[in-house]
């Protein structure tokens, strides 16, 4: 059975020599405290010691951009307010609201405070439980003495007053308490990582929804411009028809095309309204009273510094949470194994008892008892064995979850790196396609005005130009969303050392102070 020394202390025999004294109630309290210090973690903690589970970590990111270099420490410094790299005042204001009002984050903040309280609850088992009692009774006992009338005379009145202290303590001989405390401490750190992950997820969702909304604003501007262009095209066909150059069918086709564009412009408002409502929920406001002014997307993704893949294990809160849960499960194995061994309980009581209140605290009225008890389970039909096997299986489950979380994290990074690279290339080609489509439209329109081509060619060129422009706007929005996804996949500037700095306050804790904004922007602006 593995056994590790936790903290040095005196032997059990040394406590027994102190117990042979005749203490007063005050000395009884001192005796219990001395015994607690003597036995505090004096034994061994049974069970396996925890080691971080191994996980497959690649040497480099496959989708890393060509010419990529390892980010310097200044590049990957704590960038809690990672959204500042996008230099968008509206987004910054929304993030401030989210950090103080998001209810999902508030739930995890409350869960963190609960986990922190459980650590204090577990640590309380290190110390004795001391209770005080005070009681007073008055009783009447009749005395059977015959009087002249043959009845009973008056009886005796008895008074009893008692004041006492009781103390019980179970020394942590086999490390059950220390294992429980370690398990709860790991749970507290895991809850802190869960809180950070919930906050990062909410922030990333807000940023992605915000950029999607801005992309829809750009689409709306394109649709409005297209409606104006189609109105001019309709006017052209009407003029051509009035001069007898074009047929009535050209006017009807131009009118149909204009009305379809107008319908698309109206339909675009549905998606924008839904995104706006989603943002309202994220920032903790009613959708009915929340609105964001329209502003077409013009931003381009900033360069995001990359660290070595091994650093991802320290910068992803979900990975840290999974690892802490594995540590907590490992400690529970020791708790289960400790049940095989007997438990030692030290108990003491003392105080004063008297029938006269004025004599209660005098030396002859004192009483005390002191004694240990040793208890162990002889037969439990395999209960402890089953509990130990269940604890080991729970640990194996958490290890598998940790390794799966690591694999998913690297997939997340690679997906967003690939998305950034491919979308960047696609936007360049799509921009060329837009220019070609616009040039072809200008040529066909002039030919139609000259009467050398029919209106069907104009309609086709207009549809091609609009589709190309719409695709370009959509790609711009996708690349911004992917950029936010990459920042989130890299941990958003979080570091596992922050697990011990979470506040868990009633309001959702903020990620970083506004004072870090210049440093964040400067670090993100440096090309990698």
Beta strand pairing call for 152-169 and 129-146: antiparallel
Q: 146 pLDDT band (50/70/90 cuts)?
A: low
Instruction: Tell me the two tokens of residue 138.
Output: 């008055």
Give the three-state DSSP class for 227. helix
Token pair in block for residue 321 = 């949470």
8 A C-beta contact, residue 47 and residue 337: yes
Q: Which pLDDT belongs to residue 68?
A: 55
User: How many whole angstroms separate alpha carbon 149 and alpha carbon 480?
Assistant: 110
Between 47 and 495, the higher pLDDT residue: 47
| Mean pLDDT (whole number) for 64-92 | 68
Per-residue pLDDT tens over the stretch 311-352: 888 889 999 999 999 999 999 999 999 999 999 999 988 888
Question: 137 or 25: whose pLDDT is higher?
Answer: 137
Residue 516 — pLDDT band, cuts 50, 70, 90? very low
Give 148's contacts (C-beta < 8 A, 6+ positions apart): none
In which band, very low, low, confident or very high, does the pLDDT at 440 lie, cut at 50, 70 and 90? very high
pLDDT, mean of residues 217-245: 91
Average pLDDT over residues 200-229: 96
Nearest by Cα to 97 from 271, 289, 316: 289
**pLDDT over threshold 50, residue 123:** yes
Mean pLDDT computed over 188-206: 94
pLDDT for residue 42: 47
Q: So what's the pLDDT on residue 499?
A: 80
Average pLDDT, the chain: 82
The Cα 340–Cα 355 span in angstroms is 47
Per-residue model confidence as pLDDT tens digits over 14-70: 333 333 334 444 454 454 444 544 444 445 788 899 999 999 888 888 887 765 555
Written as one string, the DSSP assignment of 261-282 is HHHHHHHHHHHHHHHHHHHHHH
- Which pTM does this prediction carry? 0.81
The pLDDT > 70 percentage for the chain reads 81
| Long-range Cβ contact pairs of 9-16 (< 8 A, separation 24 or more) | 9/37, 9/38, 9/39, 9/40, 9/41, 9/42, 10/38, 10/39, 10/42, 11/42, 12/39, 12/171, 12/344, 14/38, 15/39, 15/346
CA dist 202 and 99 (Å) reads 9
Contact 376, 370 (CB under 8 A): no
pLDDT of the residue at 66: 65
Cα distances from 202 to residues 11, 155, 165, 464, 498, in angstroms, run: 54, 79, 53, 38, 18
The set of residues, in sequence order, having a beta carbon less than 8 Å from that of 295 and lying 6+ positions away, is 90, 214, 217
* String of DSSP letters for 173-199: SSSHHHHHHHHHHHHHHHHHHHHHHHH
Query: CA-CA distances (angstroms) from residue 108 to 86, 368, 457?
Result: 27, 49, 60
- Check residue 53 and report its DSSP letter: P
pLDDT average, residue stretch 79-92: 88
- What's the rounded mean pLDDT across residues 140-146? 67
Q: In residues, how long is the chain?
A: 528
In this predicted structure, which of 9-13, 396-400, 458-462 has the lowest mean pLDDT? 9-13
Tell whether the torsion through CA atoms of 507, 512, 517 and 521 is positive or negative.
negative
Rounded CA-CA distance 106/109 in Å is 5
How far is C-alpha 482 from the geometric centre of its chain's CA atoms?
Answer: 22
End-to-end distance of the chain based on CA atoms, in angstroms?
53
Strand order in the sheet with 366-375: 129-146, 152-169, 343-354, 366-375
Structure letter (DSSP) for residue 502: -
What pLDDT score was predicted for residue 81? 87
C-alpha 39/C-alpha 9 separation (Å) is 6
Distances, alpha carbon 422 to alpha carbons 33, 418, 425, 475, 524, in Å = 68, 6, 5, 10, 21
Give the CB-side neighbour count of residue 80, counting CA atoms within 13 A: 17
Instruction: Give the pLDDT mean for 141-148.
Output: 64
Q: Quick one: pLDDT at residue 428?
A: 96
**Dihedral of the CA atoms 176, 179, 180, 181 (nearest 10)?**
120
CATH top-level class for 87-126+174-341+376-506?
mainly alpha
Average pLDDT estimate for 66-86: 61
pLDDT average, residue stretch 460-471: 94
Ramachandran quadrant class, 381 (left: phi over 0; alpha: psi -120 to 50; beta: rest): left
What ranges do the domains of the chain cover? Answer: 87-126+174-341+376-506
Instruction: Give counts: helices (H), strands (E), the chain.
Output: 11, 6
Helical pair 25-39 and 12-19, crossing angle rounded to 10 deg: 170
What confidence tier does 151 reach under pLDDT thresholds 50, 70, 90? low
Q: Strand 3-5 relative to strand 152-169: parallel, antiparallel, unpaired?
A: unpaired
Bridge pairing between strands 3-5 and 44-46: antiparallel
Using a pLDDT cut of 90, give the percent of the chain over it. Answer: 56
Report residue 42 as tokens. 């004096």
In whole angstroms, give the CA distance from residue 225 to residue 219.
10
| pLDDT-based confidence at residue 526 (cuts at 50, 70, 90) | very low
- Could you give the C-alpha distances from 20 to 34, 198, 237, 395, in angstroms and in order? 14, 57, 114, 46
Evaluate if residue 130 carries a pLDDT over 50.
Answer: yes
pLDDT in tens, 242-280: 888 778 898 999 999 999 999 999 999 999 999 999 999
Contact 516, 81 (CB under 8 A): yes
């Amino acid at each position: 059975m593995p056994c590790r020394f936790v903290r040095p202390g005196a032997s059990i025999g040394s406590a027994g020599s102190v117990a042979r004294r005749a203490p007063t109630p005050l000395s009884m309290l001192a005796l219990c405290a001395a015994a607690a210090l003597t036995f505090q973690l004096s034994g061994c903690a049974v069970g396996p010691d925890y080691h971080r589970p191994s996980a497959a970590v690649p040497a480099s990111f496959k989708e890393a951009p060509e010419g990529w270099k390892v980010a310097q420490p200044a590049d990957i410094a704590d960038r809690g307010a990672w959204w500042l790299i996008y230099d968008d005042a509206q987004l910054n204001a929304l993030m401030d609201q989210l950090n103080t009002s998001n209810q999902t984050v508030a739930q995890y903040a409350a869960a963190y405070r609960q986990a922190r309280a459980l650590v204090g609850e577990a640590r309380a088992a290190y110390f004795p439980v001391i209770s005080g009692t005070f009681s007073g009774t008055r009783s009447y006992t009749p005395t059977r003495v015959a009087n002249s009338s043959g009845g009973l005379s008056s009886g005796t009145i008895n008074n009893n007053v008692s004041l006492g202290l009781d103390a019980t303590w179970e020394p942590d001989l086999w490390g059950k308490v220390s294992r429980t405390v370690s398990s709860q401490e790991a749970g507290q750190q895991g809850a802190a990582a869960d809180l950070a992950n919930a906050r990062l997820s909410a922030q990333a969702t807000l940023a992605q929804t915000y950029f999607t909304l801005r992309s829809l604003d750009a689409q709306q501007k394109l649709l409005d411009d297209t409606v104006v262009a189609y109105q001019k095209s309709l006017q052209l066909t009407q003029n051509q028809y009035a001069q007898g150059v074009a047929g009535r069918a050209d006017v009807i086709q131009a009118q149909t095309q204009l009305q379809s564009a107008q319908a698309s412009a109206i339909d675009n408002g549905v998606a924008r309204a839904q995104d706006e409502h989603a943002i309202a929920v994220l920032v903790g406001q009613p959708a009915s009273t929340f609105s964001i002014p329209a502003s077409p997307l013009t931003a381009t993704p900033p360069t995001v510094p990359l660290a070595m893949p091994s650093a991802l294990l320290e910068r992803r809160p979900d990975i840290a949470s999974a690892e802490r849960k594995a540590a907590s499960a490992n400690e529970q194995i020791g708790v289960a194994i400790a049940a095989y061994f007997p438990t030692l309980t030290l108990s003491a009581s003392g105080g004063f008892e008297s029938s006269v209140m004025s004599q209660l605290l005098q030396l002859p009225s004192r009483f005390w008892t002191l004694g240990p008890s040793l208890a162990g389970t002889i037969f439990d039909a395999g209960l402890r064995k089953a509990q130990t096997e269940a604890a080991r299986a729970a640990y194996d489950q958490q290890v598998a979850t940790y390794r799966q979380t690591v694999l998913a994290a690297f997939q997340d990074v690679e997906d967003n790196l690939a998305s950034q690279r491919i979308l960047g290339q696609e936007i360049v080609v799509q921009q060329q396609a837009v220019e070609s489509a616009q040039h072809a439209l200008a040529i066909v329109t002039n030919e139609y005005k000259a009467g050398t081509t029919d209106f069907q060619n104009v309609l086709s060129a207009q549809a091609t130009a609009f589709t190309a422009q719409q695709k370009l706007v959509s790609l711009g929005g996708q690349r911004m969303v992917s950029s936010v996804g990459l920042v989130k996949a890299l941990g958003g500037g979080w570091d596992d050392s922050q697990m011990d700095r979470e506040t868990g306050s009633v309001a959702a804790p903020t990620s970083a102070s506004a004072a870090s904004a210049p440093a964040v922007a400067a670090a993100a602006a440096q090309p990698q």
